[in-house]
Structure 1
């Protein structure tokens, strides 16, 4: 949809985030359209500024959190939302595991067309829930990214991940 869409650059109030997608964006609804909101957590009640429109979905950013989700947690990294890693650290670790497990099982059923005819073990929690990355995405951009630094304090070596 073009930028003359009535939703574009509008703020919608009291949107309930009901799910989270595989990229870590919260999922809600405005009228009959799905809206994806970066850094929103299931259970949040938020005001959303629409930044992008398509025929079947909208994308937005949080304008204001009116009622935070019980799953919401304070990101532990100063670079959260900038470097592209750790996209889920604004959510409690137990909730992350719950949603990631559900997405994995749904993908197996949908893509693998297995129905419920497979055996799967639950996701095991890691003893270390911070500063891990088990996925690589190669991104090309003209944005400035974090780079290796020789003089990083010992307690911040995770920044050179």
Structure 2
């Protein structure tokens, strides 16, 4: 059996440029590839340890924070980072709204090939916490 080669690299002093899908943030590696980073906020300057290497991008985790972003806040939920329910709770609420809208618009343009009219900013909720309602249902035809 072949041994799995450990290709984990550490990139130092990487500036987090943008927020992406699934709670990951986006930065550029020194070789020009994209890095999808967990545990970061746009504006952070971090050291990143890669966990996956693909032909066009890396995935990794922020392991050292040199500069914390002004967009960063302390998560209110004690389960943040564990349950997966609120991936951007370490980012200020107004910034969350901005990046969520940006992601939707980008997906409609890039994937949906849609030309969008001017879109007004998202109206945030007065209640920022304790409003989530997530249900998962399983359906099967075998009985």
* 2:48 is the alignment partner of 1:48: yes
Displacement after TM superposition at 1:119 (Å): 4.8
- TM-score, normalization: structure 1? 0.75
- Relative to the length of structure 2, the TM-score reads 0.83
Q: How does 1:3-152 map to 2 (within 5 A)?
A: 4=5, 8-30=7-29, 31-116=31-116, 118-133=117-132
Distance in 2, matches of 1:84 and 1:137, equals 14
- The answer (yes or no) to whether the contact 1:97–1:123 under 8 Å persists in 2 is yes
> RMSD in angstroms over aligned alpha carbons?
2.2
Stretches (4+) displaced over 4 A: 134-138
Displacement of 1:137: 7.0
Q: How many residue pairs get matched?
A: 134
Q: How much has 1:61 moved relative to structure 2?
A: 0.7
CA distance in 2 between partners of 1:86 and 1:130 (Å): 10
- Deviation string, structure 1 residues 88-143 (Cα, Å, up to 9, x no partner): 10100010011111111222222332224x353321100011233366678xxxxx
Unaligned runs of 5+ in 1: 139-161
Alignment partners' CA distance in 2, 1:114 and 1:11: 38
Structure 2 residues without counterparts, runs of 5 or longer: 138-143
CA contact 2:98–2:121 (8 Å) conserved in 1: no
Partners of 1:88 and 1:107 in 2: how far apart? 19
What is the CA distance between 1:4 and its match in structure 2? 4.2
1: CA distance between counterparts of 2:57 and 2:135? Answer: 27
Shift of 1:9: 1.9
